[in-house]
Structure 1
Amino acid sequence: MQIYSHWARTTLKIGENEYGPFLLTAYTGSDESLAAAQAEGQLILQRRHAKLLAAEPLGGEYPVGSAPLREQVEQRIHNSSGELIAAITRNRYGSLVLNAPRVMFLDVDDDDLRQPPPREPFSLAQFFRNLFSTAPAPPPLPPLVPHEQLQLRLAAWLQLHPEWNFRVYRTRLGFRLLVTHQLLAPNSAEAQQIFAAMRTDAIYVRLCQNQDCYRARLSPKPWRIGWRRPKHPFPFDTPEQMREQQQWQQEYTSRSQAFSVCDWVGEYGSGHTTPEARQLIELHDAACLGGQKLA
Structure 2
Amino acid sequence: MIVPQYWAEARAQYRRNGKHITVRRFGWSDVSQAEAQAHAEQRAQEALDGLRDGEKLARREPKVPYNGAEGVPIREEIVARHDDVLITRNSYGARCLNSADVLFADIDFAQQPSLRFAIGVFATLAALGLLAGWLTHSVLLLAGLLLVALFASGLLAGRVHRLYLDWQGGAAALARQRILRFLERHPDWSFRLYRTPAGLRALATHRTFVADDPAVAQCFSALGVDPLYARMCQRQQCFRARLSAKPWRMGLAHHLKPRPGVWPVAPERLHMRRDWVERYEAAARGYAACSFLEVLGSGVVAPEVARVQWLHDELSGAASGRPIA
Q: Give the TM interval when normalised to the shorter protein.
A: 0.7 to 0.9
Cross-structure match for 2:207: 182
The 3 A distance-change label for structure 1 pair 199 and 35 is same
Residue ranges of structure 1 left out of the alignment (5+ in a row): 79-83, 120-139
Alignment partners' CA distance in 1, 2:78 and 2:93: 12
Cross-structure match for 2:258: 231
What CA RMSD, in Å, does the superposition of the two structures yield over aligned residues? 3.2
Alignment partners' CA distance in 2, 1:5 and 1:169: 31
Cross-structure match for 2:324: 294
Native 8 Å contact 2:26 2:43 kept in 1: no
Alignment partners' CA distance in 2, 1:279 and 1:94: 25
**What's the TM-score once normalised by structure 1's chain length?**
0.78
Native 8 Å contact 1:166 1:178 kept in 2: yes
- Cα deviation, residue 13, structure 1: 9.3
Alignment partners' CA distance in 2, 1:155 and 1:57: 47
The 3 A distance-change label for structure 1 pair 215 and 46 is same
Deviations 1:165-206 (A, max 9, x none): 100001001110000001111211111111111111111101
Alignment partners' CA distance in 1, 2:199 and 2:185: 24
Cross-structure match for 1:43: 42
Give the counterpart of 2:284 among 246, 251, 256: 256
Cross-structure match for 1:104: 103
Residue ranges of structure 2 left out of the alignment (5+ in a row): 62-68, 121-162
Equivalent residue runs for 1:12-27 within 5 Å: 12=11, 25-27=24-26
Cross-structure match for 2:231: 206
- Cα deviation, residue 293, structure 1: 2.6
- Cα deviation, residue 49, structure 1: 6.1
Give the counterpart of 2:70 among 65, 69, 76: 65
Are 2:178 and 1:150 aligned?
no
The 3 A distance-change label for structure 1 pair 93 and 150 is same
Other structure's SS at 2:110 match: helix
Cross-structure match for 1:30: 29
Are 2:300 and 1:272 aligned?
yes
Native 8 Å contact 1:13 1:21 kept in 2: no
Alignment partners' CA distance in 2, 1:112 and 1:191: 25
Alignment partners' CA distance in 1, 2:316 and 2:38: 39
The 3 A distance-change label for structure 1 pair 215 and 113 is farther
Deviations 1:68-125 (A, max 9, x none): 12112222222xxxxx2x2111112221111111110001011089769988xxxxxx
Native 8 Å contact 1:112 1:201 kept in 2: no
- Cα deviation, residue 236, structure 1: 3.5
Native 8 Å contact 1:165 1:267 kept in 2: yes
Alignment partners' CA distance in 1, 2:47 and 2:199: 43
The 3 A distance-change label for structure 1 pair 55 and 193 is closer
